[in-house]
Amino acid sequence: MLIIPAIDLLNGKCVRLFQGNYKKETIYDNNPLEVAAKWISYGIERLHIIDLDGAKEGYPKNIDIISEIVKIHQIPIQIGGGIRSIETAKSLLDKGVEKVILSTNAIKNPEMIKSLCDEIGKEHVIISIDAENGFVSINGWIEKTKIYSIDLINQMSEIGINQFIYTDISRDGTLSGPNYKKILELINPKYSILAAGGITNIEHLKKLKDIGVHGSIIGKAIYTGNIKLNEALKI
């Protein structure tokens, strides 16, 4: 199972939000470049970066920081937050990003997702399923929809997407444990699931691996020290 540290960027700083609430942020470091270097020094296979400003505004806002991280470190990086056009996605790949993460357009413009896969290859596209009580939220988790997680995954699978991130919003940043029940409902050999939200300790990671998750994205728990990255990478 992949262990993927998360860096969330807001106003150029490394932060964590509580349940995706922009009014409940904790700043963990003023220098995301140093944080990236720290996590990469442990020998991780992939880094997860979310542009929170971009997710809210609808276009990437922390491009300079992201570009610098990509330029310095030869490691696969997946980027999300405000990627709403094919041009933006292609621009990020041109800068060296390996995978782009989209969520809002999976609902608002699924044809764009299909066209994006045709242009850059589906192996470079991840769809993020950010849900609360089973229903997907978009636009930086601000807009709630009436679309169920599994329905959106099935729809995206039909157009060729085979990589998904599932985040339980109610547990994100809470250190309250993953929503195993919901994650289990999504496990399918046709696609891979990266789990996020609520992961607090090594036992959580072991259980996620046991139920068939392809990878776990860890945020707050590695910043607080609840999870030691070197121990997590041994799972």
**Among 8, 53, 168, 172, the one annotated catalytic:** 8
> Strand, coil or helix: what is 79?
strand
Separation of first and last alpha carbons in the chain:
7
Note if 151 is an active site residue.
no
| Cβ neighbours of 118 (radius 10 Å) | 12
Length of the chain: 235
- What is the Cα–Cα distance from 220 to 175, expressed in whole angstroms? 7
155-187 in b/e form (b: 16+ CB < 10 A) is: bbeebebebbbbbbbebbbebebbbbebbeebe
Alpha helices in the chain (DSSP H): 32-40, 52-57, 63-72, 86-94, 104-108, 110-120, 149-158, 180-186, 202-210, 220-224, 229-232
Note if 168 is an active site residue.
no
**Among 51, 64, 118, 130, the one annotated catalytic:** 130
Active-site annotation, residues: 8, 130
